[in-house]
Amino acid sequence: MLPRRHATTLFRDRVHAGVKLAEMLQHHAARTDVVVLGLPRGGVPVAAEVARRLGTPLDIFLVRKLGAPSRPELAVGALAADGVRVIHDELVQRLGITPEELAEVVRRESAELARRTRAYGAGPVAVDLREKTVIVVDDGLATGATMRAAVEALRLKGVSRVVVAAPVAAPEAVRRLREVADEVVVVEAPPNFRGVGAWYEDFTQTSDEEVQRLLAAGRASRPQPHARPQPMPPPPPESGWGGTT
């Protein structure tokens, strides 16, 4: 599918982004075998709105970006709570990051993952994901390293299908994630991608308290599981950057 040549999307905030993303995920609505997982922290408000509009359970999947020591905003890899690591070896070598420096980044982010596990609930995820279609949501994808770690960790949990979803993404991140996910859906993948925050009017950092509130609300409204899932519907006509691998 050809990319859009002119990106016009500007999200008011993460809730508005979730509304627009949910519109592109309607083929998963009201299915009993679908779970929506948000990546903390910014992906959770987006995921909460997606789950609400699709009528699916909401939970969280714990994963942390591994930032370059001299440029913490630049992801050189990611770490999932299950211990799965994704490292961009070529980028690590190009930046001259030593094994000792990388080990220190991993140690620091592992400690933060442990803290968030305690803060958000016991265990990396509170719902049974076996044989489920899991929609993993973030507020944007720059390198895609964090999301890739989440996808690879979810494969180990026996999920049926993994759907990557985000309001905005770099085209290269979309291409890389289509190598590992069953479906990648984004509202915009602008060729002039300037970073996730550039596409939001309000990109205020999401707090632990907001994540806890959204998860509590999502878990309280979680429907009771049915004996067997509904059959998989045919995918809708392609639009935007939604699509399957």
Q: Convert the pLDDT of each residue in 86-108 to its tens digit.
A: 888 999 999 999 999 999 999 99
pLDDT at 136 over 70: yes
* Helix, coil or strand: residue 122: coil
Give the pLDDT score at 122: 44
Average pLDDT for 198-223 = 86
Locate tokens 């591994």: which residue? 66
Give the pLDDT score at 82: 73
Give the pLDDT score at 228: 41
Give the pLDDT score at 145: 85
Backbone angles phi, psi at 45, to 5 degrees: -60, -35
Give the pLDDT score at 196: 94
pLDDT at 7 over 90: no
For helices 43-54 and 14-23, the axis angle rounded to 10 degrees is 40
**Which has the higher per-residue pLDDT, 96 or 146?**
96
pLDDT at 238 over 70: no
> Tokens representing 243?
């699509």
Lowest mean pLDDT among 96-110, 111-125, 171-185: 111-125
Average pLDDT for 178-206 = 95
Neighbours of 214 (CB within 10 A): 22
DSSP assigned state of 197: G
Neighbours of 177 (CB within 10 A): 24
**How many CA within 13 A on the CB side of residue 99?**
0
Are the beta carbons of 168 and 161 closer than 8 angstroms? Answer: no
> Tokens representing 144?
């895609």
Give the pLDDT score at 78: 83
Give the pLDDT score at 218: 78
* Per-residue exposure over 195-208, b if at least 16 CB sit within 10 Å of its own CB, e if not: ebeebbeebeebee
pLDDT at 124 over 70: no
Spatial separation of the C-alpha atoms in residues 39 and 46, rounded to whole Å: 9
Lowest mean pLDDT among 22-31, 106-115, 123-132: 123-132
**Which has the higher per-residue pLDDT, 81 or 188?**
188
Give the pLDDT score at 223: 53
For 195: left if phi > 0, alpha if psi spans -120 to 50, otherwise beta; the answer is left
Locate tokens 């959204």: which residue? 214
Average pLDDT for 214-231 = 61
Give the pLDDT score at 225: 43
Q: Report the percent of the chain where pLDDT is more than 90.
A: 56
Locate tokens 């990109």: which residue? 203
For residue 48, give Cα distances in angstroms to 98, 170, 176, 205, 218. Answer: 39, 23, 25, 16, 7
